[in-house]
C-alpha cells in the first residue's frame, strides 16, 4: 500500500473568532479522484486556500509526496506540482487565451529578462512550441476553442472560460489538481462533457484530483472517495454511496434529524 | 502607400504647427488636427507592418529636423517631446504593464538630472556614462522607496510616491550642496569629439546646436522603444500583465509578484532617469521647482490620455501635452488644471485613452 | 529641556494631531463605505478654508466686526462649501466609476483634487500667494512659567474633540450612522436589506467633508494663513495617518493622526537644523511601520474574497 500523495493532519484555520477549518485529517491516494462536499461555508474553499499557501494554517501539517508543504507560499506550492482553479473565474480577461495558458505554465517557461529581451530567436521558437502545446491541450476540451487561442479571454462564453481555466491549471502537468466547483453555471450535459475531458487528461498524466462540487451526480460518477465538511469539520468520509447514506451528512444538508 | 501619405501629411502638419507664430494660426491648425483625428479611424489609415511604421516615423522626424534646422525653439520642443516620451515609456512599464503606481515620475526624472549635474561637475566621467548613471541612481532610489511597501496594496505605493514627490522638492531646496532653490548648472555635453553646445556646421549651412540633441534623444528613444516593446511581447510581458490583473492568481501559478513589481519599477525609473539626465544637459541647468508633484501628475496625464500601455498612444499624447501649452500661450498658465480635468473626463468616459492598448498576439505562427 | 518647552511641544503636537485626525477620519470614512481613496480630500479641506476666508472678507467689507459672528459665518461657509464639493465629487466623479479598478478611482480623485487646487490658485484673487487668515478667537491665555497656554488653541482643541465625539455618536447612535456602518461592512447585504446606497454615499461624503471644513478653518486660525497648496501635504499626511491606524477604522484614524503629529514633533526636536527633515523623518517611520504591519496598528478592513 503506497503512501498517500497528499496527507493533512489536524489542519486548522482561524479567521479572528471564526474557525473555518477544524482539525481536518485527510488523505488522498495518488491517481485517484477525491470529492470534497459540504454545505456552503463549510470550509471547502478555505481548505484549498490553505493547501495552496494563500493562508497559512493556524495549526496542523500538510505533507505532499512525502515533503511538508504547510507554510509554503503559493508560488512554492505551485512549484511542488499543485495547480488549481478558482470558485469565481480568475482569468485575465484582457489577455488572449494563449497568454492565460502561459501564465499557468510559468514554471516551465523562461522568464529571465536576458532571454526575453535579447535572445529573440530562441524566444520565438519557445513561443511556437508553447502555442502548439496549448492548442493540443485545448483541443481535448473543445476543437473550436483550440482555434481561438488569440482571442481575448473576456470575449468567450462562460463555459469556454471554465475550460480555459481548467487548461491553465493542467498545462504545467501538475501532480495534484484542485478543482473548485468547475461546473458552476453549467448544464448537466456541459458538466458531464467537461468532466469526461478532465478524466481523459487525468489518465494521460496519472493526475490526482480533489474536486469540490455541489452536483452530486458528478461526485457519484467520478470520485473514488468523498470527504464531507460541515462548519469546518469533517463529518463523514467514504465512497459516495456510503456518505450519502450517513445520518450526519443528511442532517447537515437537509436538516433532517 | 497609404501609410507613407499619412505620415507625410502628419509631418507637414507638425511643421506648420511648430512654425506657426500667431495664436489664430495655431488655433486653426489645432482645429484641423482635431477634425483629422476624429476622421482618421474611419479612413482606416492603420494596418500594415509595424516595421514600416517605425521606419516612417523615424524618417519623418529626420525630415522635420532638417526642415527646421535653424529654428532653435522648434528643435528644442522636438527634443523635449522625444525626451518626455522616453520618460513616460519608463512610467508605462511601471503603470501600464506591472500596475505599480508612481506619482513621482518627475522626481525620478529630476534624480537623473541631479545625478548628471553632480557627476559632470565634479568628476571626469564620460558623459554617456553619466547618462547611464543618472538612470541607475533613479532606479536605485526607486527600489529603496518601493521595497517596504511591496507586499501591500496599491494605494500604499501611491502614498509613498506622492510623499516622495513632495518631500524631494523640499529636500533639494534646503540642501545647498545641491544648489538649493537656485539649482545647479551643467557643463556642456560632450560625446567623443562632439560638443553639443556648438552650432552645427554641415557644409553650406549652419544649423542650431539643438540638432545634436534631437539626434541623441531620437537614438535614446529608439532604444527605449525597442526595450519596452520587446518586454511587452515576451513571457516577461505576460507575467507583468498577470501581476497587474490578478495578483492572487499570478501567485498561485508561481509568479513572484514582489520581484516582478520591483523589476518593473526599477527598470521604469532607470529609463526615466536617463531621460532626466539628458534633459538636464540640454537645458544646461537644473532646479528643484521643475520636478515637483504637479509635473509628475502631467506625466501621469500623458499616460492616461495616450492609452495606458500603448507606446504609440503615449507618444501622441506627449506631443499634445507638451506642444499645446507652448503654442497656445493662453493655456500655459492653466495647463495643470486643464490636463487634470481632461484626465477626469478620460477616466469617466474613455478610460482606454486615445489609442487603446492592442491585445498581445504572441504565438501567431507566421 | 525645560518643562515649559516640553509643554509647548506637546501643545503644538496636540494641535497638529487634532487637524490630522480630522482629515484622517474623512479618509477612513470614504474607504470604509466606498472602498475608495478620496485623494481630493486634502484639497477639499483647503477649499473649505478659502470659502471661509471669502465669507470673512465679504462680511468684513460689509461692515460686520463681531468676531463671534464672523467665526460662525466662516465655519458655515466652509462647511457648506466642503459638503457641496464633497457631495459633487462623490456623485459625479466617484460613484460613476465605482466598478472600475481601484487604481482608476485613485487617479480620478487625485485629478479632482488638482482641479480644486489649481482653481483656487487661478481664480481666488492673489491665489498663488499665501493669504492672511483672520484671528477670530480670543487671543488671551494663561502663563505657566515660561509656557504660554493660548485660549484660542484650547478652544480649537476642545472643538475638534467635540467634532470627533459627535462623529462617533452619529455613527454609533443614529439610524443613518447604522446604515453607514452596514454599508461599510458589507455593501451587497446592506443594499439587499433596503438601505439606500446612494444616500449613504452622499451622507458619508458630506460628513467627511464637514470634518474637512473644520480642519481647514482650524488650520487657518492656527497658522493665521492659508495657501492654495495647503491641502496637498495635509491630505497626504491625513492619508498616511489613516493607513497607520488601519484604513476603515475610525479610532485608528484618530490614533494615526496624533501619532503622526508626535513623530513630526520628535523629528523637529531631534533634527533642529532643518524643519523639512521632520517630515522626512515622520514619513520614514510611517513607511517602516507600514512595512512591518501593513494592515495598520489597529487593523484594516480587508475586503477581498479568494
The closest CB to that of C115, out of B151, B337, B347, belongs to B337
Rounded CA separation A101/A91 (Å): 9
Rounded CA separation B272/B281 (Å): 15
Set of cell numbers at residue A131? 502555442
State which of B218-232, C103-117, C182-196, C240-254 shows the largest mean pLDDT: B218-232
Q: What is the pLDDT of residues C57-81, one digit of tens each?
A: 999 888 888 888 888 899 999 999 9
pLDDT score at C288: 86
pLDDT score at B190: 87
Count CB atoms within 10 A of the CB of residue C136: 22
Number of helices and strands (H, E) in chain B?
14, 6
pLDDT score at B366: 40
Strand bridging mode C131-132 / C225-226:
antiparallel
Torsion angle in degrees (nearest 10) through CA of A12, A15, A17, A23: -10
Bridge partners of residue B207, in order along the sequence: B200
Lowest mean pLDDT among C61-70, C127-136, C180-189, C231-240: C180-189
Average pLDDT of chain B, as a whole number: 89
Residue B364: pLDDT above 70?
no
**With left for phi above 0 and alpha for psi between -120 and 50, is residue B364 left, alpha or beta?**
beta
Q: What is the pLDDT of residues A73-108, one digit of tens each?
A: 999 999 999 999 998 889 999 999 999 999 999 999
Residue A210: pLDDT above 90?
yes
Contact B340 C294 (CB under 8 A): no
For residues C260 and C244, the answer to whether their CB atoms sit within 8 Å is: yes
pLDDT score at C92: 87
CA-to-CA dists, residue A110 to A83, A121, A132, B235, angstroms: 19, 13, 17, 7
Residue C187: pLDDT above 80?
no
pLDDT score at C280: 84
Rounded CA separation A131/A138 (Å): 11
Contact A103 B251 (CB under 8 A): no
Q: Is A117 helix (H, G, I), strand (E, B) or coil?
A: helix
DSSP B50-104: HHHHHHHHHHHHHHHHHHTTT-HHHHHHHHHHHHHHHHHHHHHIIIIIS----TT
Q: Is B136 helix (H, G, I), strand (E, B) or coil?
A: helix
* Mean pLDDT of the region A109-132: 94
* Mean pLDDT of the region A201-226: 92
Contact B251 A54 (CB under 8 A): yes
Residues of chain B positioned with their CB less than 8 A from the CB of C280: 167, 171
Count CB atoms within 10 A of the CB of residue C259: 23
Neighbour-count burial of B42, counting CB atoms closer than 10 A to its CB (0-12 exposed, 13-18 middle, 19+ buried): exposed
Q: Across the A/C interface, how many CB contacts are shorter than 8 Å?
A: 5
* Residue A117 distance to chain C (closest CA, Å): 28
pLDDT score at A256: 57
Residue C138: pLDDT above 70?
yes
Domains identified in chain B and CATH numbers? 1-67 (no CATH), 72-349 (1.10.3470)
Set of cell numbers at residue C73? 459665518
* Residue A17 distance to chain B (closest CA, Å): 24
CA-to-CA dists, residue B155 to A199, B197, C104, angstroms: 43, 44, 11
Residue B228: pLDDT above 80?
yes
**With left for phi above 0 and alpha for psi between -120 and 50, is residue A31 left, alpha or beta?**
left
Q: Confidence class of residue C250 from pLDDT cuts 50, 70 and 90?
A: confident
Rounded CA separation C227/C46 (Å): 8
Contact A109 B235 (CB under 8 A): yes
pLDDT score at A101: 97
Please provide the CATH number assigned to the domain covering A1-81+174-257. Answer: 3.40.50.300
Tell which B residues from 250 to 269 touch A, by Cβ distance under 8 Å. Answer: 250-256, 263
Q: Confidence class of residue A53 from pLDDT cuts 50, 70 and 90?
A: very high
pLDDT score at A131: 95
Q: Is A74 within 8 Å of chain C by CB?
A: no
Q: What is the pLDDT of residues B136-181, one digit of tens each?
A: 999 999 999 999 888 877 788 888 999 999 889 888 888 888 888 8
Q: Is B237 within 8 Å of chain A by CB?
A: yes
Rounded CA separation B150/A165 (Å): 28
Contact A95 B238 (CB under 8 A): yes
CA-to-CA dists, residue A17 to A14, A38, B149, B342, angstroms: 7, 21, 28, 48
In SS3 terms, chain C reads as CCHHHHHHHHHHHHHHHHHHHHHHHHHHHHHHHHCCCCCCHHHHHHHHHHHHHHHHHHHHHCCCCCHHHHHHHHHHHHHHHHHHHHHHHHHHHHHHHCCCCHHHHHHHHHHHHHHHHHHHHHHCCCCCCCEECCCCCCCCEEEECCEEEEHHHHHHHHHHHHHHHHHHHHHHHCHHHHHHHHHHHCHHHHHHCCCCHHHHHHHHHHHHHHHHHHHHHHHHHHHCEECCCHHHHHHHHHHHHHHHHCCCCHHHHHHHHHHHHHHHHHHHHHCCCCCHHHHHHHHHHHHHHHHHCCCCCCCCCCCCCC
Q: Is B197 helix (H, G, I), strand (E, B) or coil?
A: coil
Residue C180: pLDDT above 50?
yes
Q: Is B349 helix (H, G, I), strand (E, B) or coil?
A: helix
Average pLDDT of chain C, as a whole number: 85
| Residue A174, H or E segment | none
pTM given for the model: 0.92
Residue C153: pLDDT above 90?
no
Q: Is A63 helix (H, G, I), strand (E, B) or coil?
A: strand
Domain ranges of chain A: 1-81+174-257, 91-173
The closest CB to that of B167, out of C37, C112, C279, belongs to C279
Query: What are the residues whose beta carbons fall under 8 Å from the beta carbon of B101, sequence distance 6 or more?
Result: B94, B95, B154, B157, B158, B161, C103, C106
For residues B230 and A117, the answer to whether their CB atoms sit within 8 Å is: yes
Q: Which of A88, A85, A69 is nearest to A77 (CA)?
A: A69
Q: Which of B190, B225, B216, B203 is nearest to B50 (CA)?
A: B225
pLDDT score at C210: 85
Contact B248 A109 (CB under 8 A): no
The closest CB to that of C280, out of B171, B334, B340, belongs to B171
Tell which A residues from 123 to 142 touch C, by Cβ distance under 8 Å. Answer: none
Lowest mean pLDDT among A8-12, B33-37, B57-61: B33-37
Rounded CA separation A16/B129 (Å): 55
Residues of chain A positioned with their CB less than 8 A from the CB of B254: 74-75, 78-79, 106-107
The larger pLDDT score, comparing residue C217 to residue B53, is at C217
Neighbour-count burial of B248, counting CB atoms closer than 10 A to its CB (0-12 exposed, 13-18 middle, 19+ buried): middle
For residues A74 and A52, the answer to whether their CB atoms sit within 8 Å is: yes
The residue written with cell numbers 512659567 in the block is C145
Neighbour-count burial of B295, counting CB atoms closer than 10 A to its CB (0-12 exposed, 13-18 middle, 19+ buried): buried
pLDDT score at A85: 96
* Residue B149 distance to chain C (closest CA, Å): 6
pLDDT score at B143: 95
| Residue B38, H or E segment | helix B23-43
Lowest mean pLDDT among B358-362, C40-44, C133-137: C133-137
Q: Which of A50, A74, A155 is best to mutate for the B interface (most B CBs within 10 A)?
A: A74
pLDDT score at B2: 74
Residues of chain C positioned with their CB less than 8 A from the CB of A54: 306
**With left for phi above 0 and alpha for psi between -120 and 50, is residue B125 left, alpha or beta?**
beta
The larger pLDDT score, comparing residue C272 to residue A42, is at A42
* Residue C190 distance to chain A (closest CA, Å): 20
Set of cell numbers at residue B254? 508561481
Alpha helices in chain A (DSSP H): 44-51, 74-79, 97-104, 113-117, 120-141, 143-146, 158-170, 188-205, 216-222, 240-245, 247-254
pLDDT score at C20: 93
Q: Which of A106, A109, A130 is best to mutate for the B interface (most B CBs within 10 A)?
A: A106
Residue B92: pLDDT above 50?
yes
Neighbour-count burial of B49, counting CB atoms closer than 10 A to its CB (0-12 exposed, 13-18 middle, 19+ buried): exposed
Residues of chain B positioned with their CB less than 8 A from the CB of A98: 362-363
Set of cell numbers at residue B346? 478620460
Q: Which of C64, C47, C203 is nearest to C117 (CA)?
A: C47
Query: Chain C: which residues have CB within 8 Å of chain B?
Result: 37, 39, 93, 96-97, 100, 102-104, 106-108, 110-112, 114-115, 118-119, 122, 232-233, 236, 239-240, 243, 274, 276-277, 279-280, 283, 287-288, 290-291, 294, 304, 306
Query: pLDDT above 90 covers what percent of chain B?
Result: 55
Q: Which of B175, B199, B187, B366 is nearest to B288 (CA)?
A: B175
pLDDT score at B42: 67
Average pLDDT of chain A, as a whole number: 92
Amino acid at each position: 500500500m503506497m503512501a498517500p500523495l497528499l496527507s493533512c493532519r489536524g489542519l486548522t484555520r482561524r479567521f479572528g473568532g471564526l474557525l473555518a477549518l477544524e482539525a481536518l485529517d485527510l488523505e488522498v491516494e495518488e491517481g485517484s479522484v477525491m470529492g470534497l462536499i459540504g454545505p456552503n461555508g463549510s470550509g471547502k474553499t478555505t481548505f484549498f486556500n490553505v493547501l495552496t499557501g494563500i493562508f497559512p494554517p493556524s495549526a496542523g501539517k500538510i505533507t505532499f509526496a512525502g515533503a511538508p508543504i504547510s507554510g509554503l507560499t503559493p508560488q512554492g506550492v505551485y512549484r511542488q506540482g499543485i495547480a488549481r482553479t478558482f470558485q469565481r473565474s480568475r482569468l485575465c480577461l484582457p489577455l488572449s487565451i494563449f497568454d492565460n495558458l502561459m501564465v499557468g505554465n510559468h514554471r516551465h517557461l523562461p522568464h529571465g529578462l536576458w532571454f526575453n529581451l535579447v535572445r529573440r530567436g530562441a524566444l520565438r521558437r519557445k513561443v511556437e512550441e508553447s502555442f502548439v502545446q496549448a492548442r493540443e491541450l485545448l483541443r481535448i476540451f473543445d476543437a473550436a476553442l483550440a482555434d481561438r487561442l488569440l482571442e481575448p479571454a473576456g470575449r468567450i462564453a462562460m463555459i469556454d472560460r471554465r475550460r480555459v481555466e481548467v487548461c491553465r491549471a493542467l498545462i504545467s502537468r501538475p501532480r495534484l489538481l484542485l478543482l473548485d466547483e468547475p461546473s458552476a453555471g453549467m448544464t448537466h450535459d456541459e458538466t458531464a462533457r467537461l468532466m469526461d475531458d478532465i478524466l481523459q487528461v487525468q489518465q494521460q498524466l496519472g493526475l490526482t484530483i480533489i474536486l469540490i462540487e455541489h452536483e452530486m451526480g458528478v461526485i457519484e460518477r467520478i470520485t473514488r472517495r468523498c470527504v464531507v465538511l460541515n462548519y469546518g469539520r469533517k463529518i463523514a468520509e467514504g465512497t459516495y454511496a456510503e456518505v450519502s447514506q450517513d445520518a450526519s451528512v443528511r442532517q447537515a444538508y437537509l436538516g433532517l434529524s | 502607400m497609404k501609410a507613407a501619405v499619412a505620415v507625410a501629411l502628419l509631418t507637414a502638419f507638425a511643421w506648420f504647427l511648430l512654425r506657426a507664430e500667431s495664436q489664430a494660426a495655431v488655433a486653426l491648425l489645432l482645429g484641423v488636427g482635431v477634425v483629422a483625428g476624429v476622421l482618421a479611424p474611419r479612413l482606416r489609415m492603420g494596418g500594415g507592418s509595424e516595421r514600416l511604421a517605425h521606419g516612417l516615423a523615424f524618417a519623418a522626424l529626420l525630415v522635420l529636423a532638417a526642415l527646421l534646422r535653424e529654428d532653435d525653439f522648434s528643435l528644442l520642443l522636438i527634443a523635449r517631446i522625444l525626451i518626455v516620451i522616453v520618460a513616460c515609456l519608463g512610467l508605462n512599464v511601471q503603470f501600464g504593464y506591472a500596475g505599480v503606481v508612481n506619482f513621482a515620475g518627475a522626481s525620478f526624472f529630476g534624480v537623473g538630472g541631479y545625478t548628471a549635474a553632480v557627476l559632470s561637475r565634479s568628476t571626469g566621467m564620460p558623459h554617456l556614462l553619466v547618462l547611464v548613471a543618472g538612470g541607475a541612481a533613479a532606479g536605485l532610489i526607486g527600489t529603496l522607496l518601493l521595497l517596504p511597501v511591496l507586499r501591500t496594496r496599491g494605494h500604499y505605493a501611491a502614498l509613498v510616491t506622492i510623499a516622495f514627490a513632495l518631500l524631494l522638492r523640499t529636500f533639494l531646496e534646503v540642501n545647498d550642496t545641491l544648489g538649493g532653490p537656485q539649482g545647479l548648472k551643467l557643463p556642456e555635453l560632450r560625446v567623443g569629439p562632439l560638443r553639443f553646445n556648438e552650432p552645427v556646421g554641415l557644409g553650406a549651412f549652419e544649423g542650431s546646436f539643438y540638432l545634436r540633441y534631437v539626434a541623441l534623444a531620437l537614438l535614446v528613444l529608439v532604444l527605449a522603444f525597442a526595450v519596452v516593446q520587446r518586454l511587452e511581447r515576451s513571457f516577461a510581458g505576460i507575467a507583468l500583465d498577470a501581476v497587474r490583473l490578478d495578483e492572487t492568481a499570478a501567485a498561485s501559478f508561481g509568479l513572484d509578484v514582489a520581484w516582478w513589481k520591483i523589476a518593473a519599477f526599477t527598470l521604469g525609473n532607470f529609463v526615466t532617469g536617463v531621460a532626466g539626465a539628458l534633459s538636464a544637459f540640454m537645458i544646461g541647468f537644473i532646479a528643484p521647482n521643475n520636478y515637483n508633484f504637479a509635473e509628475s501628475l502631467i506625466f501621469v496625464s500623458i499616460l492616461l490620455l495616450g492609452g495606458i500601455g500603448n507606446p504609440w498612444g503615449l507618444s501622441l499624447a506627449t506631443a499634445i501635452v507638451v506642444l499645446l501649452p507652448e503654442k497656445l500661450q493662453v493655456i500655459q498658465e492653466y495647463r495643470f488644471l486643464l490636463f487634470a480635468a481632461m484626465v477626469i473626463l478620460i477616466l469617466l468616459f474613455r478610460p482606454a485613452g486615445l489609442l487603446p492598448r492592442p491585445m498581445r498576439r504572441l504565438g501567431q505562427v507566421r | 529641556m525645560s518643562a515649559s518647552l516640553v509643554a509647548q511641544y506637546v501643545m503644538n503636537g496636540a494641535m497638529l494631531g487634532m487637524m490630522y485626525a480630522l482629515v484622517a477620519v474623512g479618509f477612513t470614512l470614504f474607504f470604509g463605505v466606498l472602498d475608495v481613496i478620496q485623494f481630493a480630500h486634502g484639497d477639499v479641506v483647503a477649499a473649505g478654508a478659502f470659502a471661509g476666508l471669502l465669507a470673512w472678507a465679504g462680511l468684513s467689507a460689509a461692515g460686520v466686526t463681531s468676531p463671534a459672528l464672523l467665526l460662525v459665518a466662516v465655519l458655515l461657509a466652509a462647511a457648506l462649501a466642503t459638503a457641496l464639493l464633497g457631495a459633487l465629487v462623490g456623485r459625479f466623479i466617484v460613484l460613476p466609476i465605482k466598478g472600475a479598478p481601484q487604481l482608476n478611482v485613485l487617479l480620478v480623485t487625485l485629478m479632482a483634487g488638482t482641479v480644486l487646487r489649481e482653481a483656487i490658485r487661478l481664480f481666488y484673487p492673489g491665489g498663488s500667494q499665501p493669504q492672511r487668515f483672520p484671528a477670530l478667537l480670543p487671543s488671551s491665555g494663561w502663563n505657566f512659567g515660561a509656557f504660554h497656554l493660548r485660549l484660542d488653541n484650547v478652544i480649537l482643541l476642545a472643538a475638534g474633540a467635540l467634532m470627533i465625539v459627535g462623529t462617533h455618536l452619529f455613527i454609533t447612535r443614529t439610524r443613518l450612522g447604522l446604515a453607514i456602518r452596514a454599508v461599510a461592512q458589507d455593501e451587497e447585504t446592506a443594499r439587499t436589506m433596503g438601505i439606500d446606497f446612494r444616500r449613504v454615499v452622499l451622507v458619508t461624503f458630506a460628513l467627511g467633508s464637514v470634518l474637512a471644513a473644520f480642519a481647514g478653518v482650524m488650520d487657518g486660525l492656527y497658522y493665521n494663513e492659508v495657501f492654495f497648496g495647503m491641502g496637498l501635504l495635509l491630505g497626504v499626511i491625513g492619508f498616511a495617518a489613516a493607513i497607520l491606524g488601519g484604513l476603515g477604522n475610525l479610532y485608528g484614524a484618530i490614533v494615526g493622526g496624533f501619532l503622526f503629529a508626535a513623530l513630526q514633533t520628535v523629528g523637529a526636536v531631534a533634527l533642529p537644523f532643518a524643519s523639512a527633515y521632520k517630515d522626512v523623518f515622520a514619513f520614514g517611520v510611517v513607511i517602516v511601520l507600514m512595512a512591518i504591519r501593513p494592515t495598520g496598528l489597529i487593523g484594516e478592513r480587508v475586503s477581498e474574497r479568494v
